[in-house]
Structure 1
Amino acid sequence: MNLRHLQPAHCGDTALRVRLAEGSDWTRWELTQAQVTTLAAQRKLLSMHPVDATRWQLKAKDRVGSVRLGTGEGAVQLTITPKVPVDRLLHLVAYAPDRVEYDSRPVTAEPRPDLLPALAHAFVSAAERALQRGVLHDYRETYDTLPVVRGRIRYADQIRRRPGVPVPLDVVYDDHTPDTPENHLLLAAARRLLRVPGLDPSLRSALQRLTGRLDGVRLLPVGAPAPHWTLGRRNARYAHALVLAELVLRGASYELGDGRHIAVDGMLVIMWQLFEAYLARAVGEALRHRVGGRPESQDRNFSLDTAGKHVLKPDLVHYLPSPHDGVLRQAIVLDAKFKTRQERDDLYQMTAYCVRLGLAEGHLVYASGSPGTVDVPVGDGRLRIWRHVVDLARPWRALAADIEALAEAIDSARTHAT
């Protein structure tokens, strides 16, 4: 192990920049006592032990990302780089942004032109689905002065401003407008992504079409905070696109592309949680488009015992209409495993899921390894457990295609079992 001599970076004040790699071996760093105190408080992020009075060995745990820690002489910018390339990481984050831990303390980041293309693709896809039934409108109370009556006359304002003059009229009316917080977010994110260098021409054209559809929506002022929105029945179809739009705007400062180190919000991701959430949501969405029904990510509707004390937690249960009465019932169960090898306990877990849900097959999805099947005798019959692999080392476009192929394979297995 080599001693790493670091040049301090300036993030408002001087901070030691510590860079570790996900899954790597111990690395040795020269630290002051103040920096040791800062890092020692971050047991969730890294392990550490001393070599001598000034040198320490550090090793990352299961989070990746970058975060600003400590203040003054103890300030440290800790960066844990993922095994997967950044475009793959953002492809996963686009499906599971709630698995990201944000820290408002600024860190520095080197501008990278390839950080947002994957997120841009996911945003365009979600925004196009959101606008399939038209641009969201809402009623806004508007005060105006008009030559004719519209809505209600504001008599107090009319008498105060123009006593005895019949026109123009001070009125108030409800305007049905697309100028809503939700559309502000979509427009701001689309315009932000259009400034990303190196986007595919087709993706850039899709973003331009999206901004054209949002005609009548005001641009957010420079530096203005993102509009607040609350999920409800009115805007439910916008939900996925809005979450991605917020993610685009939050990460915007990464993309200056002129060689500067720039300040961004700290961001940390637990990779196994991100992988599980991504697989559940991406496959669920692909299944919904392919066979209909309703996906339930992280489904908690079933218990192993009759008392309901031992809740089962499969990453995805997909519900389809019953051929007998049309009622939605559990039809597919999937569990994701961010592991380098397949373990027997995974088979036990999936067997329990299948037996409890009354299904003849279950699906385990790993981040590496070899696919295959395992047949498990249950009573007078059997159930089949499929082991799939989604390789995060593949380019993100290939990864998106792999999800579609996985959904097709799951549907085929279900049809065959039926």
Structure 2
Amino acid sequence: MRIEISENDTNNLSRAMSSDHAAALAATGLMDVSPSGVGMWRLATATNRVGAVRIGDLDVVVRPKATFGSVLFMLGYARDPGFTADEVDGLDADDVWPAVAETLVRLAERALRQGVLQGYVTREESLAVLRGRMRAADQVARRPGMLLPLEVTFDEYEVDIPENRIVRAALRRMALVPRLDRPLRARLAHLAGRLDGASDLVPGAPLPQWSPSRANSRYQPALRLGEQVLRSVGLSTTAGGASVAAFVVDMAVVFEDFVTVALREAFGVLSPLGRTVGQFGAWLDERSRVRARPDVVHTVRGVPRLVLDAKYKLGYSDGSYPTADVYQLHAYCTALGLLRGYLVYAGSRRVGAAPVEHRVLNTEIDVVQWPLDVSVPPAQLVAQVAELAAASVDVTAARTPATDAPG
């Protein structure tokens, strides 16, 4: 059975399934599940969640406003602005599993084109000869009075480094998900095989830590997506033994993170002396008791010059948006001493929606509602953010200084 529905669809579905399947589907967070009769379950989309779940022979897909390829691009770009649009060009937009797998394969192939990365790994072993340095305390505690073997610590130059462990684990996990054709599975298995010297990750343990460097620069796009795969793609079984595969994404978080990073990149070109801060700390009141955290604030010499807030919401049929958001931006502008603020939305239900400016009565504050069309190809989406950044820099002016709140 296959169930397909658009994200944030308000129409509930009623389907027959076992209690094991219903419990497994609810646990993924993709849909809200509640009983609606004997053997029947009411399914409703969870707010802003998209992705796919496979439970036995049940397929559930919640489609985003954007294509799955664009979702992957926003995920990748938010973690690494070097993640380019061509990484997801030509992906099949109809199914999340092939889209994720194909993107990971492309990035892994690019990472391994110059060979498998190696690095120094610190080892602690018991050896018959001295290598590196001896751990005297361990030698005395474990082998009192014995000369051999020696407890030693040494550095080994090898492939078993965090970068290879993460990429290998992500490739192996994607090879187990449903709805992949044989050639794609073969490419995943081949790439994982090239990293056989990397050890397995411990299930449930935190991912290995790595730091960006010139040495691993070619790995970084694959690492970013690999970490996302390991965090988002779940493989398990139901109480009845049916296999479960899930890839679930919170689009509100993805959109906010993407907008923050894309604006930071754009402002870095337009206002190189400034600094763009995500989740900026400020106060709404004089006694510093009411906190405010705008999604994006651009400062110049420590003084806020621009405030923007990302909202992953659909507009109303007439192209307008919830008025509470305008109240919120008005408060941010007042607290930060700005005459203009921007509400950045993920598109509108009205075709051709354009930015709308609101002058707040009895003030000089303008709140601009600016839709981004997330259904366009990734390169155009980045261009839209750059257009927003250019427009905001051109017309926004500060009124009074404000100070970033601690924390």
The counterpart of 1:335, out of the listed 295, 302, 309, is 309
1:64 paired with 2:50, answer: yes
Decide which structure has the larger Cα Rg and report it. Answer: 1
Deviation at 1:361, TM superposition (A): 2.0
After superposition, the C-alpha distances for 1:91-110 in whole angstroms (9 at most, x for unaligned) are 2222457xxxxxxxxxxx97
Contact 2:232–2:248 under 8 Å retained in 1? no
Deviation at 1:346, TM superposition (A): 2.0
Q: Measure, in 2, the Cα distance between the counterparts of 1:150 and 1:38.
A: 54
The counterpart of 2:8, out of the listed 6, 9, 23, is 23
- Residue 340 of structure 2 corresponds to 361
Contact 2:311–2:344 under 8 Å retained in 1? yes
Question: Which deviates more, 402-411 or 183-192?
Answer: 183-192
- Residue 391 of structure 2 corresponds to 409
Deviation at 1:371, TM superposition (A): 0.8
Q: Measure, in 2, the Cα distance between the counterparts of 1:190 and 1:76.
A: 24
Q: Measure, in 2, the Cα distance between the counterparts of 1:124 and 1:141.
A: 29
Unaligned ranges ≥5, structure 1: 1-5, 7-16, 98-108, 128-134, 162-169, 198-216, 255-262, 323-327
How many residue pairs match? The answer is 337
One-letter amino acid of the structure 2 residue matched with residue 356 of structure 1: A
Q: Measure, in 1, the Cα distance between the counterparts of 2:306 and 2:196.
A: 44
Q: Secondary structure at the match of 2:70?
A: helix
Deviation at 1:28, TM superposition (A): 4.5
From the superposition, tell whether residues 251 and 312 of structure 1 become closer, same or farther in structure 2 (CA, over 3 Å): closer
Q: Measure, in 2, the Cα distance between the counterparts of 1:266 and 1:374.
A: 42
- Residue 348 of structure 1 corresponds to 327
Alignment of 1:284-323 (within 5 A): 284-292=264-272, 293-299=274-280, 301-320=281-300, 322=301
Q: Measure, in 2, the Cα distance between the counterparts of 1:278 and 1:84.
A: 13
Q: Secondary structure at the match of 1:336?
A: strand
From the superposition, tell whether residues 191 and 218 of structure 1 become closer, same or farther in structure 2 (CA, over 3 Å): same
CA RMSD of aligned residues (A): 5.6
1:46 paired with 2:27, answer: no
- Residue 235 of structure 1 corresponds to 211
One-letter amino acid of the structure 1 residue matched with residue 379 of structure 2: R
From the superposition, tell whether residues 179 and 362 of structure 1 become closer, same or farther in structure 2 (CA, over 3 Å): farther
One-letter amino acid of the structure 1 residue matched with residue 378 of structure 2: W
After superposition, the C-alpha distances for 1:54-113 in whole angstroms (9 at most, x for unaligned) are 5555332312223478x9xxx97654333321111212222457xxxxxxxxxxx97854
Q: Measure, in 1, the Cα distance between the counterparts of 2:232 and 2:323.
A: 40
Q: Measure, in 2, the Cα distance between the counterparts of 1:274 and 1:384.
A: 27
Q: Measure, in 2, the Cα distance between the counterparts of 1:294 and 1:34.
A: 52
One-letter amino acid of the structure 1 residue matched with residue 291 of structure 2: V
The counterpart of 1:283, out of the listed 244, 263, 287, is 263
Deviation at 1:26, TM superposition (A): 3.1
Deviation at 1:137, TM superposition (A): 7.3
Alignment of 1:130-145 (within 5 A): 140=122
Contact 2:30–2:46 under 8 Å retained in 1? yes
The counterpart of 2:356, out of the listed 372, 375, 380, is 372
Deviation at 1:48, TM superposition (A): 5.0
- Residue 258 of structure 1 corresponds to none
- Residue 198 of structure 2 corresponds to 220
After superposition, the C-alpha distances for 1:274-302 in whole angstroms (9 at most, x for unaligned) are 32232223322332354344332223x11
Contact 2:51–2:96 under 8 Å retained in 1? no
From the superposition, tell whether residues 396 and 385 of structure 1 become closer, same or farther in structure 2 (CA, over 3 Å): same
Contact 1:47–1:61 under 8 Å retained in 2? no
Unaligned ranges ≥5, structure 2: 80-93, 112-116, 140-146, 182-194, 236-242, 316-320, 348-352, 401-407
Alignment of 1:94-105 (within 5 A): 94-95=76-77
Q: Secondary structure at the match of 1:114?
A: helix
Contact 2:14–2:42 under 8 Å retained in 1? yes
Q: Measure, in 2, the Cα distance between the counterparts of 1:151 and 1:40.
A: 52
From the superposition, tell whether residues 308 and 396 of structure 1 become closer, same or farther in structure 2 (CA, over 3 Å): same
One-letter amino acid of the structure 2 residue matched with residue 350 of structure 1: L
Q: Measure, in 1, the Cα distance between the counterparts of 2:25 and 2:198.
A: 42
1:88 paired with 2:62, answer: no
Contact 2:73–2:378 under 8 Å retained in 1? yes
From the superposition, tell whether residues 182 and 91 of structure 1 become closer, same or farther in structure 2 (CA, over 3 Å): same
Q: Measure, in 1, the Cα distance between the counterparts of 2:229 and 2:25.
A: 33
Could you tell me the percent identity over the aligned residues?
25
One-letter amino acid of the structure 1 residue matched with residue 66 of structure 2: V
